[in-house]
Amino acid sequence: MQITGMYWGEKLLKYVDFPCAEVLKADSSSDELRALLDRCGSIFVKPIFKGGVGKKGKSGLIGHVNNVHDALKEKERLYFAKHEVGNQKFNSNGVTFEGSVPAKYEIYVSITDDTRFRAPTLTISHHGGVDIEAQGSDKLASAPFDPLTGLNGFVISNLLNKLNAPNEIISPLVQNLPKLWDLFHNYGMSMIELNPIRMMPNKKGRLVPVACDFKCSFDQDDPSWKRLNLPADLFTTELSNFEREVNELRTYQGQSDVFVTNNKGSVTAMTFGGGASSLVTELLGDVGTISSDFGGNPPYEKMRKISSIVYKYWLEQSNVLFIIGGKANNTDIYETFRAMGDALRDYFNTHGPKPIFVVVGRGGPNLVRGLGTLGETLDNLKVPYRMFGYDSSMSTVIDYAKDIDNWMENEGGKESIAKTMGIQPENIAVSKPSKCA
């Protein structure tokens, strides 16, 4: 559940009186556009995408104009623009006209729930803008803060002083950034990011922080976001059949969060834990098929249904079934692995054996019993596997899964496993993109 851009960002920031750039909708008249130009000098024309879609500027999908004629031409170009981020394709549906904000400084600010600290964390830089990802650690500072006391001026000023930020920007930011915590905390957000905030001088010459872009995500299980009265279709996206089937299993117990990253991938990772999911998705890159989080102690029946859906859509094209997570606190590893093993046996009974390698990396309650049960199932199915305990580095386990994928794909591993499983060469399926759409 994500929102990007100032169309909705402006509306949300007004809840806490945070200054933001002037925004006009796509149906604004020529007179309204001319008046905005008179006030701001120039206009940025930006397409509207549903969900968390970034990198629009680098893709040439932001227009910058200084007259009405060009503004309308950019509206025509961007209204139904197409945008690709990695393997994902998005279509815009509308534009915004946003007044430019003159400024000497651009600020990057984000507040997130950080699992490293188990606390909300402020990240800030006075070198903001579209290239914030390329900034070094000396230009970007982070610090957790106590959610009971909230984001106070000391946290903000300490981080800015640590970065040797100019004194003239510190006081305005100390006065205004705590408003973002009010929005984050009171309306069920799990992340809010403004990049850039432009420091615009007011009539008295004092700098005022003005939000010029907006991004946030909501905790779907926190009902506080409903108080914003956002339209019901705002978070709807073009889900694949796979994503839709898994989402239908969402319950109070156990996560069922999935996202297709590459329907031509060859490593299917069933991940447990949000931190693990982010790391696995990043390090697998294009060989991964999905990004997933099935943590939260899912019961046996739910985990078996989820596994059946994953296998149905992805096992045929996969070289590696990758079961990975950190050391769980409350997830019963035995029940989880028993469900995954039973679902795999069902798949083989229905579709026949599949030359695949299983890599497991996990820790938590009933780990040894769970690994033993899963290993017994894989032995009976003649599926090769390698299992790692909680004392293994997750990045090392991910690299091992990628090495196995390469061995399967390019060094005869698939044929070797197929021979061991008694699969005839003519019955070895050629990897094809999943028909999950």
User: pLDDT digit string (tens) for 165-177?
Assistant: 999 999 999 999 9
Same domain, 114 and 91: no
- The pLDDT value given to residue 165: 92
Domain termination site, one of 161, 194, 228 = 228
Euclidean distance between CA atoms 214 and 191, whole angstroms = 11
253 and 224 in a common domain: no
Q: Are residues 250 and 386 in the same domain?
A: yes
pLDDT at position 233, please? Answer: 60
Q: Measured between alpha carbons, how far is 83 from 95 in angstroms, rounded to an integer? A: 14
Q: How many CB atoms lie within 10 A of CB 424?
A: 8
* Among candidate residues 17, 10, 14, 16, the one with its CA nearest the CA of residue 46: 10
Q: Are strands 95-99 and 43-47 parallel, antiparallel or unpaired?
A: antiparallel
176 domain-assigned: yes
Which CATH number belongs to the domain containing residue 38 in this structure?
3.30.1490.20
> Does one domain contain both 162 and 203?
yes
The full DSSP string for 67-117 is SHHHHHHHHHHHTT-EEEETTEEEE---EEEEE----S-EEEEEEEEETTT
Is residue 1, in this structure, part of any structural domain at all? no
pLDDT at 239: 66
CATH of the domain at 375: 3.40.50.261
In a domain, 274, yes or no: yes
Which residues does the chain have with pLDDT short of 50? Answer: 252
Distance in angstroms (rounded) separating the CA atoms of residues 199 and 196: 9
| Statement to judge: residues 263 and 377 lie in one domain | yes
The rounded distance, in Å, linking the Cα atoms of 404 and 324 is 15
Could you tell me if 181 and 250 lie in one domain?
Answer: no
Q: Which amino acid is at 65?
A: V
Q: Tell which residue, 210, 295, 191, has the closest CA to residue 17.
A: 210
Q: Pull the structure tokens for residue 131.
A: 């290239």
In a domain? residue 17: no
Asked whether the beta carbons of 357 and 321 are under 8 A apart, the reply is: yes
Q: Which two tokens stand for residue 323?
A: 């079961």
Query: Do 204 and 71 have their domain in common?
Result: no
| Structural domain count of the chain | 3
Domain housing 79: 22-99
In a domain, 15, yes or no: no
Choose one of 99, 126, 143: the last residue of a domain.
99
Residues in the chain: 437
Give the pLDDT confidence score for residue 53 in this predicted structure.
61
Return the pLDDT at 27.
Answer: 86
Distance set, CA 54 to CA 57, 124, 215 (Å): 8, 19, 9
Residue 10 lies in a domain: no
Q: Between the CA atoms of 132, 137, 140 and 146, what dihedral angle is there, to the nearest 10 degrees? A: 130
Phi, psi at 110, each rounded to 5°: -145, 150
Residue 5 lies in a domain: no
Whose tokens are 């339209």? That residue is 231
d(Cα 165, Cα 257) in Å, to the nearest integer? Answer: 39
What ranges in 237-291 are assigned the alpha helix state H?
A: 241-247, 274-284
- Contact between 304 and 274 under an 8 Å Cβ cutoff? The reply is no
Q: Where among 181, 203, 228 does a domain terminate?
A: 228
Both tokens of 140, joined, read 């970007």
Estimate the crossing angle of helix 367-381 against helix 333-351, to 10 degrees.
10
218 and 315 part of one domain: no
| pLDDT at residue number 39 | 94
Q: Are 200 and 212 in contact (CB under 8 A)?
A: no
212 and 316 both lie in a single domain: no
CATH code of the domain in which 178 resides: 3.30.470.20
Alpha carbon distance, N-terminus to C-terminus of the chain? 20
Whether residue 138 sits in one domain with residue 75: no
| Strand blocks (E) in 169-265 | 189-201, 207-211, 215-218, 257-260
* Residue 252 confidence (pLDDT): 45
Residue 365 domain-assigned? Answer: yes
177 shares its domain with 157:
yes
